[in-house]
């Protein structure tokens, strides 16, 4: 349920609504939009009556949220969510571009690629220190050492870091370094991790599970928002289908579907989505044309030597060529890239 109030509603009236919600054993969430203030209600809302709230001062409207997800839904918040990270935004006019290798492989490797990406103008670097690999014999990441190197990248180049958190035990260490916590496809339904990541208050990049529906993705995001952490960036990264000519099937349908049902920003990871480097530029362009809020791209200085996902990684030169094309496309869909 959502209680709609005016932006000019007196604080006393807002508190009265919240008190009533708490008294009825539900949880109020204050959400300020551009023209209205909403009090989203979660918990056993089936016990609530619309009339109980309609009578309260400054209440304009009481709306039942019909979706299973509540805080994530557009019914709860009409305006697009724009996430600010220092001077950067996700979900605004400026497209969010995050690039980097799949993994932190060594100090030299990450510093070298960070330097090259910084030269190109990138503000957010991606790289995993903890890697979820299908085979237990594959490179599992440099773990804590990898985090140390990422900290060095931040200190030396001023880049913001997006890195994956695999479990709750390493969450505090990853949170120290990450500017955005990545929760990967395989962990999209690790509800304990979602709750604890939400509690850090850090922005979370939540990747769609490879066999998850869009509704599953939105329900997972709800776990994070329910901790009063609204800084969630959704990420379409391809799903499993019967098609075998690409690693995954990049489901660009997810973008308009998410935009209709949710106020959260959604970006696209075409690297994992197709799994083959030469298909990445076409799908990056398609994602932006379909109104994605940004891209997560794997870029490696020597893809043929990469310890993970080299085959889907662009070289810095290929990445720069793609960026130039994206810069031309962006204004067509009312966006910009000012790297």
For Mn ion, the binding residues (CB under 5 A) are: 102, 309
Least separation in angstroms between residue 2's CB and ligand PEP is: 32
Contacted by 184, from Mn ion, ligand PEP, none: CB < 5 to 8 Å by type: ligand PEP
User: In this chain, which of 75, 81, 116, 185 binds ligand PEP, going by CB under 6 A?
Assistant: 185
User: In this chain, which of 36, 77, 160, 207 binds ligand PEP, going by CB under 6 A?
Assistant: 207
Element (DSSP H or E) covering residue 6? strand 2-6
Nearest residue by C-beta to ligand PEP?
184
Cβ proximity to ligand PEP: between 75 and 308 the closer is 308
Site map 276..295 versus ligand PEP, x via CB under 6 A: --------------------
Cβ proximity to Mn ion: between 220 and 313 the closer is 313
Rounded-to-integer distance, Cα 125 and Cα 144, Å: 18
Contacted by 202, from ligand PEP, Mn ion, none: CB < 5 to 8 Å by type: none
132 binds ligand PEP (CB under 6 A): yes
125 binds ligand PEP (CB under 6 A): no
Least separation in angstroms between residue 164's CB and ligand PEP is: 6
Cβ pair 151, 115 in contact under 8 A: no
Count the site residues for ligand PEP by CB under 6 A.
9
Any idea how long the chain is? 339
Half-sphere exposure of 293 (CA within 13 A, CB side): 24
Rounded-to-integer distance, Cα 162 and Cα 27, Å: 31
Rounded-to-integer distance, Cα 41 and Cα 63, Å: 10
- Cβ-based neighbour number of residue 115 at 10 Å: 15
Which residues within the stretch 216-245 sit at the binding site for ligand PEP (CB under 6 A)? 237
- Provide the token pair at 40: 């989203």
Cβ pair 258, 108 in contact under 8 A: no
Looking at the DSSP bridge assignments, the partners of residue 204 are: 181, 232
- Provide the token pair at 111: 């510093």
Site of interaction with ligand PEP (CB under 6 A): 102, 128, 132, 184-186, 207, 237, 272
């Amino acid at each position: 349920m959502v209680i709609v109030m005016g932006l000019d509603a007196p604080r006393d009236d807002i508190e009265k609504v919240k008190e009533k919600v708490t008294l009825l054993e539900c949880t109020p969430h204050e959400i300020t939009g551009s023209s209205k203030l909403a009090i989203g209600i979660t918990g056993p809302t089936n016990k609530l009556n619309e009339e109980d709230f309609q009578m309260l001062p400054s209440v304009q409207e009481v709306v039942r949220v019909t979706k299973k997800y509540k805080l994530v839904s557009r019914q709860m918040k009409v305006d697009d969510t724009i996430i600010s990270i220092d001077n950067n935004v996700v979900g605004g006019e400026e497209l969010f571009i995050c690039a980097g290798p799949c993994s932190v492989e060594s100090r030299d490797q990450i510093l070298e690629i960070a330097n090259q990406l910084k030269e190109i103008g990138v503000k957010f670097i991606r790289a995993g220190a903890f890697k979820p690999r299908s085979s237990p014999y594959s490179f599992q990441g440099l773990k804590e050492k990898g985090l140390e190197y990422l900290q060095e990248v931040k200190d030396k180049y001023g880049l913001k870091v997006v890195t994956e958190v695999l479990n709750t035990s390493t969450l505090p260490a990853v949170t120290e370094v990450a500017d955005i916590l990545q929760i990967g496809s395989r962990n999209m339904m690790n509800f304990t991790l979602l709750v604890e990541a939400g509690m850090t208050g850090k922005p979370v990049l939540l990747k769609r599970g490879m066999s998850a529906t869009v509704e599953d993705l939105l329900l997972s995001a709800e776990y994070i928002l329910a901790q009063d952490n609204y800084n969630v960036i959704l990420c379409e990264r391809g799903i499993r289908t019967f098609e075998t000519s690409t690693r995954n099937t990049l489901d660009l349908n997810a973008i308009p579907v998410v935009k209709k049902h949710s106020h959260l920003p959604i970006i696209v990871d075409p690297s994992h989505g197709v799994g083959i480097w030469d298909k990445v530029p076409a799908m990056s362009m398609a994602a932006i044309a379909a109104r994605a809020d940004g891209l997560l791209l794997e870029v490696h200085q020597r893809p043929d030597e990469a310890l993970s996902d080299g085959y889907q990684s662009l070289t810095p030169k290929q990445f720069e060529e793609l960026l130039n094309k994206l810069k031309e496309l962006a204004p067509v869909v009312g966006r910009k890239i000012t790297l």
